[in-house]
Amino acid sequence: MSGSNVRFIVEAGGRLSGRIRVPGDKSISHRSIMLGSLAEGVTHVSGFLEGEDALATLNAFRAMGVQIEGPDQGRVTIHGVGMHGLKAPTAPLDLGNSGTSMRLLAGLLAGQGFDVVMVGDSSLSKRPMRRVTAPLAEMGAQIETTDNGTPPLKIKGGQSLKGMFYKMPMASAQVKSCLLLAGLYAEGRTSVVEPAPTRDHSERMLQGFGYQVDVDGATASVEGGGKLTATDIEVPADISSAAFFMVGASIADGSDITLEHVGINPTRTGVIDILRLMGADITLSNEREVGGEPVADIRVRSAKLKGINIPEALVPLAIDEFPVLFVAAACAEGQTVLTGAEELRVKESDRIQVMADGLIALGVDATPTPDGIVINGSPLQGGRVNGHGDHRISMAFAMAALRAAGAIEIDDCANVATSFPGFESLAANAGLGIQRKG
């Protein structure tokens, strides 16, 4: 996908309205395939995200001998093979653009009896993997990376893993999940301590599959040697995808949109907290729990936003939503300052630099810093920006057009399909004047 130059051309102005449901949560979709494959019995998933990243995980498990039916309109049936039923793939596992797939699978595959190689696209091949391979090596895994610590990953099978106590140097749900998955195959207890709260979908879903996870404050622990029992999973709509419409409706006069069945896991709601601090009009209704995950309908009406100093405690809870939050900051009155977010520099793109470059091209006063950005609210002009093959950059700039003086043209948007298939049609139906070219 990323090789073809898909462009978005988005008309200036407009407003968002109606009731929409964005695609299923990417994090939960990944984990449903992983744990369903290792479970005993048949797992039924509904609401599965049929984006390229989640499909990369699904195809990896098919390549390791798991029978998976679907996806068909979000429904997937997984015939679990048990903890030790995976088979060696006949070729390297190609995980495309998906860092979540590669990092979580590194932990899961470190405890298997066969060798495996994992590769990715040009973007994934630049992303740092030592954050998982170094602690896995301490547990006894044998994994080779490039000299730069990037993919491909070559995992040697047949290693006996030992449980460990690990204090994570950075707040990363991917690192935490990777080590907990390795801990399922390790002798003894594996405990992971996080420096700040991160999404806890792995802990919740492991328990949903009947595997005990002990959570004590910032520490999550598992004992090796247990088993997973098949269950049914309903995937809520992805708050990271909903975030684009939350910001779009906040900045576009006259907007009133309701986003249905959105996951509001407390480790993911930083975007709501930050927008409310900026003065956004956001109300939650129909709050309920579905398969261990809290969900709600989120109504957003246009509001006059003001600049803020973003609390560092909220940064890990909104790490994927910052590209579109930078658009909110550009449309706010006054200055917004983000610090403590150096993690944004090693995502699908350097999201701090790429967003700063694009905002500046649209006339916004934006100054990148090593661990964040300073944005002074400015009138948005039309213009041409580059999505750099990063799905969240492309969608963020598409929403910026709602407040721009002229049309915005965004290059290199093919990777939007990794997390949000059908973005253009859903956004157009809600009121965004978006066209796809190429």
Determine whether 320 is an active site residue: yes
Residue 105's Cβ-side half-sphere holds a number of Cα atoms within 13 Å equal to: 33
Question: Given 320, 357, 365, 411, which residue is catalytic?
Answer: 320
Across the strands, what pairs with 187?
162
| Residue located via tokens 């992303």 | 127
Q: Which residues contact 148 (CB under 8 A, 6 or more apart)?
A: none
In our burial notation (b when 16+ CB lie closer than 10 A, e otherwise), range 54-63 reads bbbbbbbbeb
Cα dihedral value 132, 136, 141, 144, nearest 10: 30
Angle at 70 between CA 23 and CA 110, to 5 degrees: 85
Q: How is the beta sheet containing 281-290 ordered, strand by strand? A: 17-20, 256-263, 293-301, 281-290
Q: Which tokens in the block code for residue 163?
A: 């449980």
Angle at 228 between CA 84 and CA 288, to 5 degrees: 150
Distance CA 347, CA 342 (A): 10
Q: Which residues contact 319 (CB under 8 A, 6 or more apart)?
A: 270, 341, 343, 344
Task: State the CB neighbour count (10 A cutoff) for residue 411.
Answer: 17
Active site residues: 320
